[in-house]
Structure 1
Amino acid sequence: MDTKDEVEKLPTTAKMPPGKDSIELTTREMTKDEHHLATLGYKQVFIRSFGMFENWAATFTTMNFVSGLPVLFGFAMYTGGPQAAFSNWTMVGGLSTIVSLAMAEIAAALPTAGGIYYWAYALGGQEYGPLLAWLTAWYNWAGWLTIVPGIAQGNTNFFVSMLEILYPSSAVLKEGWFAWCISALTIILAAIPNCVSQWTIRHMLRGTVYTTVVLMAFYFIWFPIAASRRGGFQPASIMTTFYNGINTAMDSEGNTIVQASDSYCWVVGVLFGAWPVFSTKEFYGYDASVHLSEETLSASSVVANGMWTGSISTWLLSVLTLIMVLFCMQDFMGIVNGTYPNNWAEYLVQLVGRRGAAAILAFTWIDGLLCTGVIFLSAQRITYAVARDGILPFSKNFSKVTPKHHLPVNAALLMVVLTIAICAAVIGSTVAFSAITAAATIGTNLSYLIPIVARQTIGRKHFKPAKWNLGAWSIPVSIIASLYIAFLFVVLMLPQLYPVDAQTLNYAPIVIGGITAIALGGWFFPFSLGARHWFEGPRRTITEVELVGVQVKGSD
């Protein structure tokens, strides 16, 4: 199909650029990537220089299991123990890879920054597209917004645990304001490479991969050597050890009052791989590759491959890592009852001693800092994308890019301010902070569910798969992905400790309800101010007329 044929098939509602009654048609060239983006309605703004490695690294390092697994290791030990940890991690990883495949097929056809809500619009059609895009944009943006402070706080727990090992009598380490200061510093440092140039972004992505390799070397070389010199390895029976530690109430004789069954405990343990509270994004965040679409060469195929290969490589490598970690564990109950901000510190002290533990935690903090930068990158791109389409207040300011390096620095500044403010919740209540960041999982997964379902329902007839597609597997993959997300949605609403009181109540439903209320309120607001009166979907920044006469060069 030539350029003229493609232009004729575009919507006929496009208008001339503001202030122009006509456009002088001249022959000019566009790359295939630039032209594909233009047919989707957007002019090329970012510099395209990322290849397969960077795009894969975006998803792989966002899921970052080498620091994500340790940060919730203590949680996994009291929500089912080693048996539940292994089975849940393996199951969640496999199902998440299926979700990434369902999303990759859509990404191949519609590779745009902040693409999730664009997919919802394109698949929803003129009737449902605007509302679906609006809801998806708010869920996805709010999800990534709250993930950044969650990652920063998780990384802070590594840092503070290291300091507590070295300075056990220091009272300042127990203060909430101290943790907030470290988290705020982490966010600022994470933002810097994303505001300088693509060179710094590229090396940030590569640096996170390198620190992942080093930490894996610790796990597979240092850990078994240390275990052999200390208490030895756990027997094979460790993989069948189950522990229900979510019942915290005691009777008058000091016996545990069982309110949550072992089955319930196992279900809650699913969150080990899926929950981002004080953690990395583990087995979701596949859309990290999508948000670099407009900066990636041969985006249609590279983005799709980056998503699913990042997911499956994380799954396979992390399962092997978890097995090694479980067999090298020294004192199971000592870890469950650990008193450090992160129970992983107790695991390390038992295994490699205090100085070794401090060294590993310091390096893990460096890895987590780079990971925070990668996650900030996606959050920044989503902020830019939704502002480009007028979804955020003061969108015009946050959709600007710098003239030299073409980076959305204003969007980054907004993210810095908002995420540091969210981190302030940890000063008064870790429960409130946990609720805010737990809502991140729900929000992002809802934003995944909407286009996946729309792809197989209202968008099935007009969706045109790209060269990279699932073929006959598309429907079963989408069904499995949708059922898994629905299951995860329910699990994320459950209390994680009993008895349920103000300190153990899961406030995530309230937070996600608030996000939904804001989105729907913005849509249905009266007096012609609601988005239903003016939001028609993504805004074109290049018209069909401007594409006439364009010569397409290059190939995928």
Structure 2
Amino acid sequence: MGVETKEEIEAHNIDVEKAAAQQVTSIFQPGEFGIVEDHDMTDDEARLVALGYKQEFRREFSVWTSFGVSFSVLGLLPSIATTLWYGLGYAGTAGMTWGWIVAMCGIQCVAQSMAELASSMPTSGGLYYAAAVLAPDGWGPLCSWITGWSNWIGQVTGAPSVDYGCAQMILATASVLHPDFVPQAWHTFLLTVLILLIHACISSMPTKYVAHFNSVSTWLNMFILVIVVILIPAATTNLNPRFNNSADVWGTITNGTEWPNGIAVLMSFISVIWTMSGYDAPFHLSEECSNAAIASPRAIVLTAEVGGVLGFAVNLVIAYTVTDIGAVISSPLGQPFVAYCLQVLTVEAALAVTALTIVCSFMMGQGCMVAASRVTYAYARDGVFPLSKQIWSKVNPYTLTPVNAVWMNTTIGILLMLLIFAGPLAIGAIFSIGAIGAYVAFTLPVTLRTFVVGNRFRPGPWSLGRYSFASGCIATSFTLLMMPILCLPTVNGPDLSAQTMNYTCLVWGGPMLLAMTWWVLDAHKWFKGPRVNVEHRMLQKASDLVGTGMHVVEADSDNGHTVTEVKE
């Protein structure tokens, strides 16, 4: 095989720029494999193929619709409503103000660093793929295994936890309208399962319809959020004073734990972290997004920044209007946000705000289901789960979406909802599981990029430049700080019992321990990290292509991707 110069290749009308411009770290070893370019590829497909994957989805997402999915997954209003017990209950109004600001600094750094990775490696595998590529030699499979399982645990609990919160709000509303009605555990279980099934059906539709649904969802979420932020202060029934004193809002820590005030504020971050854990969705949707190397990172950053600002506005409204934190947290309704609305609004206005929040919650659950299904598909494509190749990695030929992956997640979600019958502490653990699982997965590849790869990293067209190292350091430090905090119970000493224990370390750590045991005993023998999923004729040794007349894009680990021509 003779390697021609760039000028000679251009003379043969080969589009060298399309392949060479893909500034990505390829999984191919220099000179070992080549990717046959047997048709005109778009820039998105060329970049994906350079990463070792075949284009299988239609690219019908844009910056806006990718942002729509991630903003729906954030679901600011229902997320804050569902986790109000943590934000307000652990540290009071100071936790909702200063706590949100401090936590957001760390979260923004995680998001910015993730966006940089998404621009360089826009694949559905996302963080899992990035961990494999960025790990030291020989450690790629293990790093992707840890990242993948932690991310998947966080993703697969997303839709069930959101739908559980949605069901709680619906039943709390029913209790307000019919005081004699007392929701039972089986009511919550059945309603949550029904919502999960509806979301599964929507998520199984073709990409175009899912994108349209999430575009509408984005507008509704923003519109309803603005309405609620304006409505509550305008319609509050509080008198003398109408709003809480700023000194109290910002300076008073109402410690709802048995830990020191500083620890209580850190514990209140669970509300912020869980709320702000959906901005990775554009990364997982990048194979369905046009101009993904730019659109996906922009959607990640846009989601984190818009979510941070609007979420802070909601927290300020609650902090300045709540009058009795203890009554809100201990309300027999079982849903603090509904109790808060009844405390500061008329019954009619409270029901209206709750109804709008329920609509947002429903949209949010569907966004979580879509994002989780793409993660499951990407991991199944590389053989992570049992029966991956036979079932879970299959793309439906009619919808061209990973329908099997959707229903796998739905089944697991329904099984998780059985925790409802174990009590509020057990089912409540799914919120902290989602938080810790997501941020471990978010930060591991960022840490590798910052401290292992360093200047050898090949950025995509969206890059942090000289600020990349500082952002990575803050992101890593923030996650290392929060991992043990998220596992702390609210009580300690003699008050700690089976009923008051924080089960996050068990419910997240248990599956992770099983995954690591599987790795040690068996998986390390066959799992080699993200696998190439291209047709056999598109992935061959260059020597086998002599005489085919086909052009090959070969990966060069030092100089990017160069184009060669197979010759006799």
Deviation by residue 1:232-289 (Cα, 9 ceiling, x = unmatched): 2223233235344435xxxxxxxxxxx4332332222222312x4xxxxx12232111
Q: Contact conserved, 1:238 with 1:327, CA < 8 A, in 2? A: no
- The residue aligned with 2:533 is 541
Q: How does 1:388-407 map to 2 (within 5 A)?
A: 388-396=381-389, 397-407=391-401
| Cα pair 2:98 2:250 within 8 Å, conserved | no
User: Within 2, Cα distance between the matches of 1:80 and 1:472?
Assistant: 37
Does the CA-based 8 Å contact 1:110-1:300 persist in structure 2?
Answer: yes
Secondary structure, in 3 states, of the residue corresponding to 2:298?
A: helix
Is the 8 Å Cα contact of residues 162 and 357 (structure 1) preserved in structure 2? no
Distance 2:407 2:400 in 1: 15
Q: How many angstroms apart in 1 are the aligned matches of 2:513 and 2:192?
A: 29
Q: Is the 8 A contact 1:123 1:462 kept in 2?
A: no
CA 105–6 in structure 1, closer or farther in 2 if over 3 Å, else same? closer
Question: Secondary structure in 1 aligned to 2:232?
Answer: helix
Q: Structure 2 residue aligned with 1:196, among 182, 190, 205?
A: 205
Report what 2:46 is aligned to.
35
SS at match of 1:460: helix
2:150 is the counterpart of 1:139: yes
Shift of 1:163: 0.8
Letter in 2 for 1:423: M
Give 1:361's aligned residue: 354
Deviation at 1:75, TM superposition (A): 3.3
**Does the CA-based 8 Å contact 1:117-1:133 persist in structure 2?**
yes
Q: Residue deviations 1:488-545, cap 9 Å, x none?
A: 11211111245221111111112232122222122111xxxx1211111211122445
1:79-126 CA-partner distances (Å, limit 9, x unpaired) = 121122211112112221111001111110000002111001111154
Structure 1 residue identity aligned to 2:51: L
Structure 1 residues 383-422: aligned runs within 5 Å: 383-396=376-389, 397-422=391-416
Please say if residues 94 and 315 of structure 1, whose CA atoms lie closer than 8 Å, have aligned partners that are also in contact: no
Q: Please, which of 142, 151, 172 is the counterpart of residue 161 of structure 1?
A: 172
Superposed displacement of residue 42, structure 1? 0.6
**Identical amino acids, percent of aligned pairs:** 24
Q: Which amino acid aligns with 2:518?
A: G
State the partner residue of 1:459.
453
Structure 2 residue runs of 5 or longer lacking an equivalent are 1-15, 543-549, 554-568
Task: Tell me what 1:254 maps to.
Answer: none
**Cα distance in 1, alignment partners of residues 541 and 371 from structure 2:** 30
Whether the aligned pair in 2 keeps the contact of 1:208 and 1:370 (CA below 8 Å) is: yes
Counterpart of 1:338 (choices 331, 348, 361) is 331
The reply to whether residue 115 of structure 1 matches residue 126 of structure 2 is yes
The SS at the match of 2:40 is strand
TM-score (norm 1): 0.88
Over residues 459-500 of structure 1, what are the superposed CA-to-partner deviations in whole Å (9 max), with x where a residue is unaligned? 335421112111111111100000001111121111124522
Does the 8 Å contact 1:300/1:466 carry over to 2? yes
- TM-score normalised over the length of structure 2: 0.86
Q: How many residues align?
A: 521
- Over 3 Å counting, the alpha-carbon distance change for 1:485 and 1:323 in structure 2 is same
Q: Which whole-Å CA distance do the structure 2 matches of 1:401 and 1:26 have between them?
A: 23
Q: CA RMSD in A?
A: 2.5
- Given the superposition, is the C-alpha separation of residues 387 and 440 from structure 1 closer, same or farther in structure 2, using an over 3 Å criterion? same
Q: Name the aligned partner's letter for residue 415 of structure 2.
A: A
Instruction: Supply the distance in 2 between the matched residues of 1:34 and 1:334 (Cα, whole angstroms).
Output: 56
Q: Do residues 329 (structure 1) and 338 (structure 2) align?
A: no
CA distance in 2, matches of 1:434, 1:4: 48
Offset, 1:130:
1.0
Contact 1:3 1:550 in 2 (8 A): no
Query: Does the Cα contact within 8 Å between 2:87 and 2:96 map onto a contact in 1?
Result: yes
> Is the 1:30–1:550 contact (alpha carbons within 8 Å) kept by the matching residues of 2?
no
Are 1:296 and 2:295 counterparts?
no
Cα offsets for 1:189-218 (capped at 9, x unmatched): 111221111232112212221222232233
**Matching residue of 1:256:** none
For the 8 Å contact 2:38–2:551, the answer to whether it is kept is: yes
Is 2:230 aligned against 1:212? no
Q: Pairwise mapping of residues 279-290 of structure 1 onto structure 2 (< 5 A)?
A: 282-290=275-283
Show the counterpart of 1:263: 262
8 Å CA contact 2:90, 2:268 repeated in 1? yes
Higher alpha-carbon deviation: 184-193 or 334-343? 334-343
**1:204 touches 1:373 (CA, 8 Å); kept in 2?**
no
The amino acid of 1:186's aligned partner reads I
